[in-house]
Amino acid sequence: MAFSFSYNFLFSSAILLLLHSTSLVAEARSSVPISYLISQKLFDSIFLHKDDTACPAKSFYTYDSFIIASKSFPRFGTTGSLAMRKREIAAFLAQISHETTGGWATAPDGPYAWGLCFKEEVSPQSDYCDSTNQEWPCYPGKSYKGRGPIQLSWNYNYGPAGKALGFDGLRNPDVVSNNSLIAFKTALWFWMTEQKPKPSCHNVMIGKHVPTEADIAANRTVGYGLVTNIINGGLECGIPNDSRVNDRIGFFKRYGTLFKVDTGPNLDCAYQKSF
């Protein structure tokens, strides 16, 4: 009986130690910084032309600013399996590439090598002020046009982004196109933040978002296409073969190859209703 007790105790202790070690390994892996997954060399191979003289954002979007900004959002690119983490980073970079692209069909190295070429919207059609929004009122004379990697737009985005990140987004929206670190932070803030009824892009890419009844009725299937819907679905989704959506997909496919990770299903939002 004593031998049996000792053996069982030792066996149980070994199992607990193994489980604890496995947990520590998993925790360590999840805390690996994204610089481990995207090096300066990979970043430069993704954005081949961002610092060309033809790009208005020349020398603005630096690798260091991206990495430092990501530290303010520790769940970005650190959740789930290695493939999931790579896929999320690739998806984020693909979306901001479309938003800031300077590429064209016959561009050198192809149209999907020209992300991060612009830092603010060219020839905006309005000042993007929603005067009905009383929570984030527009400041006189200010434009809330697209700025930064995600082309942050509208007073109801500048206000909360500034509050979350420590700048006055309503009074000083120009800081997003004047400060590289803040610019990347606004893009990551938009990516990580849930704005109901929209889920966060982050939760979609890590498989955490569970479609609601409204999502199912609107055919909003989980995948990269849903991220496009979150970002600009009102203008781009529900349109078969939309060139803007195809451009976003083109960037994602190229980056997936560079990251050596598959893109997953449901890349399009052609048959999704917008939020």
Say if residue 266 is in the same domain as residue 159: no
For residues 29-46, give the mean pLDDT.
88
User: Which residues are marked as active site?
Assistant: 99
Q: Which domain holds residue 75?
A: 29-118+194-275
pTM for the whole thing?
0.89
| CATH number of the domain to which 147 belongs | 3.30.20.10
Distance between first and last Cα of the chain: 66
Say if residue 56 is in the same domain as residue 110: yes
What are the structure tokens assigned to 205, written together? Answer: 């890419």
- Give pLDDT tens digits for 76-130: 999 999 999 999 999 999 999 999 999 999 999 999 999 999 999 999 999 999 9
Residue 127's pLDDT is 97
Residue 208's pLDDT is 97
What are the structure tokens assigned to 74, written together? Answer: 């520790």
- Give pLDDT tens digits for 239-275: 999 999 999 999 999 999 999 999 999 999 999 999 9
Say if residue 112 is in the same domain as residue 199: yes
Overall number of domains in the chain: 2
Say if residue 34 is in the same domain as residue 74: yes
Cα–Cα distances in angstroms (integers) from residue 99 to residues 18, 37, 178, 227, in the given order: 47, 23, 17, 13
Answer yes or no: is 138 within a domain: yes
Tell me the β-bridge partners of 120.
Answer: 147
Separation between Cα atoms, residue 119 and residue 217, nearest integer Å: 37
Say if residue 106 is in the same domain as residue 33: yes
Say if residue 107 is in the same domain as residue 203: yes
- Give pLDDT tens digits for 164-222: 999 999 999 999 999 999 999 999 999 999 999 999 999 999 999 999 999 999 999 99
